[in-house]
Structures are given as C-alpha cells and as structure tokens.
A and B are shown apart, each in its own frame.
Chain A
Amino acid sequence: MSVFYDKFERHSQGAGLKGNSTHYCPGCGHGLAHKYLAEAIEELGIQDNTVLVSPVGCSVFAYYYFDVGNTQAAHGRAAAVALGHKLSNPEANVISYQGDGDLASIGLAETVSAAQLGAPITVIFINNAIYGMTGGQMAPTSLMGQSTATSPDGRSMYNGQPMRMAEVIAGLDGPVYVERVALFDAKNRRNAKKAIKKAVQCQVEGRGYAFVEVLAECPTHLKMSPEDTEKWVKECMVPIYPLGVKKDLATESWWKRPAPNFEADHFLHAAGATSEAPVRHCEAFPTHLNPTDISLKLAGSGGDGAQTAAMLIARAAINEGFDATHIPSYGPESRGGTSYADVHVAKDEVLNPASPHPDVLIAFNAPSLAKFGPTVVKGGTIIYDSSIVKDVPPGIDPGVKVVGVPFTEIAVDLGKAVVKNIVALGALQAATGIFPKATLTGAIGQMLKDKCALIPLNEEAFAWGVKAVEELGK
C-alpha cells in the first residue's frame, strides 16, 4: 500500500504512534474506505496524477494519509473544488471524499450539480448516519427514530426523512456509475473495494462521473461496540439504504480536453482585434460643437436602435483617433421603456461619460424629446423623428437648433423600419457636421463586416437621413 505516506507527518508532526496510525476511532468505517481507495490508486497506477479533496467532517484529515496531491475543501464544497481541479488539469484524477453532513446536507447543491455535469470525477460518500466530527448530531441520513444529540427523542417526521443519496444521484443523467456498498462483513468489504476501484477507473478511462456510497460504522457516536455497530448497519441501515449497483452505463471514453491555446494570432482573432488601421477622414476635432468634449444623448423606446447608433458614433470617433464613451441605460428600462444612451466624443480624454446637458440630442419619440429637450445646452442641436413627434414640446432653449426628420417614414419606405437609427445618424451628420459622412459609413461597415448583405440598405438609410436634412435647408 504505497499510496499511504510511510510516515503521517501531518498527523501531529508524525510524533510517536501518530506517525503510523490514523486519527479515526476504533471500528470507524473511514479507515477501511481509505484503505480500499489507496489500493485502487495503487492498482491503477495513478498515484502521481491524483488529487484527493478532503472534506469537512471526520475525514477532514484524509490528507494526512494519502501520498497524492491534496486539497482540503470548505464544508460541503469538495465536489465543486474537485471540479475546479479537474477542469483545470483534465489529466489529473480527482477524488472527492465526503461524509454525509458534507455531501448530503450543506453541500447538496454542489453534490447534485457536479453529478449532473458528469465530468469524470470520483466521489466517495461515507454514510454513517450521524455527524461525527461535531459530536453525534443528526445527519441528513440519520434513520427515523434514531436518537442523536440534535434529535434526542429520535428522528421524527418533524426532522424530515433520511436522504438516499445513491438513488438521488443515480436518478440524474450525468453519472455513469453509482453503487451503494457496506463494510460490515467480509463479502461486503470485498464489494466495497471493488466498487471504489471501479469508480476511480471510470475516471481514469474518461468515461464520466462515478459515485460510491459506503455505509460505514461510527461506534463512538452510535454509542455501541464496533461489533454491534456492524450489526446495526446491517440490520437497521441496509433496509433503508439498499445495497447494490444503482446505475452502471456502458458510456465510452469521451473526456478529451485540449491544452489551452496561447497563440497570439488566435487570441487577437477571438478578441476581434486587428492591426489594420481604419481610414481617417477628419481633418480636425469638430470644435464647432464643443472645443474639447462633445456630449450627446440618444433617447427612444427599446427597439429604436438608440444604443446601436450611440455605439456607432463612439466607434467612428475612436476610428478618427479621438476618445469616446457610450453608456447605455439598461435593465428593465431598456425593455419597452425609455432607452437612452449617453455618448461623449473628446479630443483627448473623456472625463465624465454622462450627458446631463448634451450638446446634441437625438430623440426617437415624444416622451424622450419632452424629457431631454430642455437639457440641451444653448447652441446645441436636437434632431427628432418627425414621423412620430408631431409637436415640439415647450421648454427648449431658443438658442437650440431643432431639426425634425421622419426617421421612421424613411426607414419604412426603404422596407426595414429597424434602420431608422441609421437614418438618424445620417441626419446627425448633415445637421451637425460632427464627422465626415465616410467616417460614419465606415463605422457602419465595420459593424456589419460579418453581415455584408445589409451594408447597402444601411448606407442607403444613412444617405436618406443626410438628404432629408439638406432638403430642409433649401
């Protein structure tokens, strides 16, 4: 049994007898489960590639004994920790060793979800129907009528029913192998050893998640002799927790994970980064709108495309070498309610990304115009959808230029109402001269680079927006 350390140095620094004895009480089932697990690891030749996750409970110190990689987990979280190991190093064999309080009570969500995920880890579940480490309190697997420190009059209906974990786990689609075994006699011990080995083998072969529930003895907290405890497990536990294979699928090996990729080109492609510089069309920062930092607000209903238009303005600005930001309103507000976007375009750096007093407002509906129109600064510009908004509301500074363009009508005429935001961008260009036309159409082309078929329609929408404003000026 070379998988146990030759000296248990972590057990009280290996002093005296502790260097070669476990911390378990006489007759405890953990020692046997440890032994069978150690034998399985040795027989499968995986000692160097094994990580054992110790739980909280009596087996919290499993790492004293097993000469493998060891991680000690928080109470109930061993399966989640095991998955962290397995997904990070798919070559490692990861074993989560847990007791009933850990696995079936506090860690139930982690237990069930790890099982259903089905990634090949091995879970050894020691069910002794009682909390050992904390001193004999009721476990989720305590039997009805069983007297414990926290069910002194015996477990009753008011304490709930015992958890049959092997059946719960076997009922899931994730696991490939689930068995319940016991330790109370020679035949069952042989079975237990076999089952534990098979559960580890399922992982070694990359076949999937395996779970072995071991009915174990806790003479100390059952307040019985080791011999009587064996009898108690056989006579009282087994009827509630029937032994045997609960699930055994012939799933073939499927667990193959490539090593993570760190190639520069691969990463840049995934991130959407390019070394290709966009063509610049601006000769200088559009200081006629603001000397250093232009503040815009786009407002409408969810679905008007205000956010996309805002994004396009920001992208266009950055393509021209300026700084830009875009903050969307989001959440429930963006679903059918008011959707507004604050955009800043700055010569050097955007200091404040919010637009409480915009230089430019694009309003897609009447409430947006009413709400934000009065916030536009003197000398600013408002462009609104005149096919939706019939009357310009009061409160707008007389020094603000107000331009009505029928975004929706134009878009509908083009056959796609959704391009009204692009009509609005065309109108913005013509009404403010924020950037040359090619800057904005370039940004549109960039956005649609994977949907090239849509570019002509969008360019047409943009051109109509420009034209509508130019017509107004005539």
Chain B
Amino acid sequence: MAQLKERPKPFLLPDYCKGCGRCISACAKHCISFDKEIDAATGYVPVVIDLEACNACGLCMEACPEPYGLRETPQDVDFELQDPAKLFGSKKPRPEPKAVPDTLIPLPKTEPLVIKGNYASALGALLAGCRHVFGYPITPSTEGAELMAKLLPKLDGTFLQAVSEVATVNHMYGSGGAGYPCMTFTSSPGFSLMLEGVSYMIGAEVPGVFVNVMRGGPGLGNIAPEQSDVKLACRGLGHGNTHAITLMPSTPQEMLDLTMLAFELTFKYRNPVIILGDGYLGQMTGKVNLPSAMIKPGIPTWAVNGDADHRGNLISSIYLSEQDLEQHNIYLNDKYRRMEENESRSESFMTEDAEVLIVAANTPARASKGAVQDLRRQGIKAGLFRPVTVWPFPVKQLVKDLAGVKNLVVVEASNGQLEDEIRLALSKAGVTQLPVMSHVRHFGGMLPQQTEVLAHVKAIMAKEVR
C-alpha cells in the first residue's frame, strides 16, 4: 500500500497578510487568530497561526485572497527567509517576445477590375493581409462590410457584424492588440461612436484601419456625401493628446492603394490610420488595378497574441503616475512629429506657374481637376493642390505651390474644415502672407461641382481685372 503523503500545513509571512481574517472563520480547529500588534511594514494587524491543533485541511489557504499570503509550509527551507520569490521557488522565466516577419506573396498580372470604391478599399485591406474585419452596417459604407462578409469566409478569415460601433472598435482593439491587421468600414455617425476606442488604441499603441465614408450631418443628417469629419479625424480623435494619419483618396484606385498604405503605416507607427472617403467615392465604380504582391502578415514582437512567445506582453493605456503619463505623451508626441516629417503626402496638378490655386480632397478634387483644365483652356493659370494626407497636412509642398499664387480657393463639402486645416498648417509653418482666400462649399449631401468651381474662379478673376 502506497504511503499517504503528509498534507502541508499553512505558513504565513506577516508582511503579506492584510488581516482580513477570512482564514480565521475558515478554520474549524480555531488555530488562527489576529495578532496583538500592528505590522510595522503594512499597517495591518496580521493573523497568527498556532499549528498545534492544525490537521492540515487547507481551508485557510483557500480562504486567503492574497497570492503570497497563506501558503503551504515549504519543505527544507529556512523559515527566516523573507523573500517570497526565494521561498516559493522561481517561476517560469518571462519569454523574450519574437517577431514573425511578414511575407510577400507575388500575384500574377491581372486585368483591371471594374469595381466600386468601397469594394476597392476592401480588396486593398485583403491584399494588405487583413483577414479580420469588424463592422456595423451604415450607409453609405455598407458595401465594404458586405463584400468582406462574402469574401472572408472564402479566405478563412473572419467578418463579425458587431453589436454597435462601440463594440466594433473594441473588437479591433483586441484583434490589433493580438498583432493582426484589422479594419472596419463606417460612416460619420458610426465614426463618432468609435472615437472612444480610437483614443484607447492610440494610447495603447494598437494598430487598426478605419475607413470612414463620410455622409451628411450633423446628427442623423442624411446618407449623401459630405466631408465634415475632417475636424474629427484631425482634431478630435477621442480624448487625450491624439493624432492619427488621415488619408483622403480621390479615386477607386486610390481607395485600394491608400487602404494598403494605411495598413503599412498603422503597423509602422503602432497607431490607428483613418481613411476619409466621401459617399460618392464609396459608390463610384471605376477602373482598379491590383498590385503585384499580397502581404501575409507576421506577428509583431509587442503583440498580445495568446502564444508562448508573447506571454510577457501587455496592451494598456494606463499610466498611473503623472510622470509616467507625461513621458508616454512625450513619446507619442514624438511619434506624431515623425509622422509629420515622413508621411505627408499630396498631389500637385499644374501648380508650377499657377496664379489661382485650388485646394480640394476626395471627389471634389476630381471636380477641381476638371475645372483646372477648363480654366487653363480659357487662359487662366489655375492649379490644384490635393492633400492626400489631411493629417499630417502636407504643408511643405503647399508652401512651394503657393509661390506666385494670388488666389487660394478651397473647395470642400463642409463648413470650412479643410480650410481650417490649411490655415492652421500655414500658420504653424510661419506663413504670414496669405494669398486672397475664398471657397466653394456645399453641405447637406451635395458635392461642389466642376461648373461651380469654374464659375467661382472666373468670377474672382473678373473682379481682379476690374
């Protein structure tokens, strides 16, 4: 007959007892009582154990809420030891997290697709290695989610229709935190709801791509195109000192290209990336070429992947001490500065000798491009400056393009949100002598038209001649 092993009796280092007394009532043999004196190190009155009557039932240890409180009496250990780590043996060493690199999967040359902007963006995400998409249906962005719901099962990926946009962004926080490229399609009211989570993602340095196909507001507004989330993306990404690279595509092809770029940037900086499209762009069908390779994503070092290599990692936005949080903010601000230095993008069209410079993004930039050509045919030296990133604003290029410009015309479907970004960027860049500024604006779901831009520029030119 095998000999029964003797059950261990409890042991306590008084410094790790908070004196709650749960063990006292747990002990049927009345072995445990409060000590007479306060422990000088903790300020609590710990318990004392008289092991005389102890039958090693173990109930006191089960009742102790402290991980290093009541423990089994260690065998062959000097009782004077006061360091629990030494006392209870060393633990599993924390693993050194390893990065699994991305791989490029070459794609054969294919014929151009004829697809909607929203679809192009979805394909861009898939090409960038995204297989995890979360979303809540909202017009006019829904085609993106619908295509993902159709394609992802075929690619053994996941599309989850979330209970809300609030849940969506938090699914992304989990997925991105686990190190996976993830994204969502949304539209203005949904984007508003996601901003809490965006702030957490920025604070915790979690990547993720948000495609916001902007619609008319405020409130429920309507489902027609607007560009009035520029201020949210540039100045209002939730609470705290936040910024995120914000891309504004203007063609279905760019919806694909910039979505792919967004994934690259979101991992490069460990920061969310926003794509602002307008309702027209999402619905617009156009020619879209696929790239020459697809990305199979790896796993970054910092990910909380749920595997052995990354066990020691933490995704969190808490910095309890003021000094730590200030340091974290300084670090984030430095990251924003690097984005400003390296990631400003723009397109200049016929700006070399331009006297009238039109600034526009998204679909209005296409209308403006048409207007520039019309104006040139009529002998007016017009040019177009199109910010591709609205944050960081490509101010260096704008300043170059402003040389010789007498009139700056901002064309946008909002009440001056793009113009505010221009003015702020120029002001920060120390440009004090501004050209005459005017604008063509629409809200409520209409986009400025080529004919309007043309008429506006001709009107201001006529005034100047007089």
Residue positions of A touching B, CB distance < 8 A: 1-2, 4-7, 10, 16-17, 20-22, 24-32, 34-35, 38, 47-51, 53-54, 60-61, 63, 65, 67-74, 77, 80-89, 91-94, 109-110, 112-113, 117, 185-186, 189-190, 193, 219, 225-227, 230, 257-264, 266-268, 270-278, 311, 314-315, 318, 323-328, 330-331, 350-354, 356-357
Contact = CB atoms under 8 A, between A and B. Distances in A.
Contacts of A93: 306
Contacts of B155: 260-262, 266-267, 270
Nearest to A54: B316
20 contacts: A1-B67, A4-B68, A65-B67, A77-B166, A77-B197, A80-B162, A80-B171, A87-B175, A94-B306, A193-B62, A257-B158, A260-B156, A260-B157, A261-B131, A267-B126, A268-B107, A270-B154, A275-B108, A326-B286, A351-B367
Given A325-B286, A351-B366, A189 B178 contact: no
Nearest to B110: A273
Contact of A84 (B112, B178, B312): B178
B174 A84 contact: yes
B85 A6 contact: yes
Contact of B280 (A267, A350, A353, A357): A353
B163 A85 contact: no
Contact of B296 (A86, A110, A262): A262
Nearest to A21: B16
Nearest to B153: A270
A10 to B, nearest CB: 7
Given A35-B64, A88-B132, A267-B155, 13 more contacts: A26-B19, A32-B63, A47-B311, A71-B314, A71-B315, A84-B132, A264-B108, A267-B107, A274-B110, A277-B111, A314-B285, A351-B369, A353-B284
Interface stretch (B89-97, B228-236, B457-465): B89-97
Interface in B55-104: 59, 62-68, 84-85, 88, 90-92, 94
Interface string B379-411: 000000000000000000000000000000000
Interface stretch (B21-29, B268-276, B339-347, B434-442): B21-29
A63 to B, nearest CB: 6
A270 B204 CA distance: 34
Given A311-B114, A318-B287, A326-B284, A92 B305 contact: yes
Interface in B11-62: 15-16, 18-22, 24-26, 41-42, 44, 59, 62
Contacts of B307: 48-49, 69, 89, 91-92
Nearest to B143: A330
Contact of B156 (A73, A89, A258): A258
Contact of B286 (A49, A81, A324): A324
A318 B44 CA distance: 79
B149 interface: no
Nearest to B115: A272
Contacts of A259: 156
Given A227-B21, A318-B112, A71 B157 contact: no
B200 interface: yes
Nearest to A277: B111
B67 A73 contact: no
Nearest to B113: A273
B21 to A, nearest CB: 6
B466 interface: no
B306 A324 contact: no
A26 B44 contact: yes
A159 B450 CA distance: 58
B166 to A, nearest CB: 7
B167 interface: yes
B139 A331 contact: yes
A448 to B, nearest CB: 15
A113 B167 contact: yes
A84 B183 CA distance: 11
A70 B316 contact: yes
B197 A74 contact: yes
Contact of B107 (A34, A47, A264): A264
A73 B170 CA distance: 8
Contacts of A274: 110-111
B223 interface: yes
A233 to B, nearest CB: 12
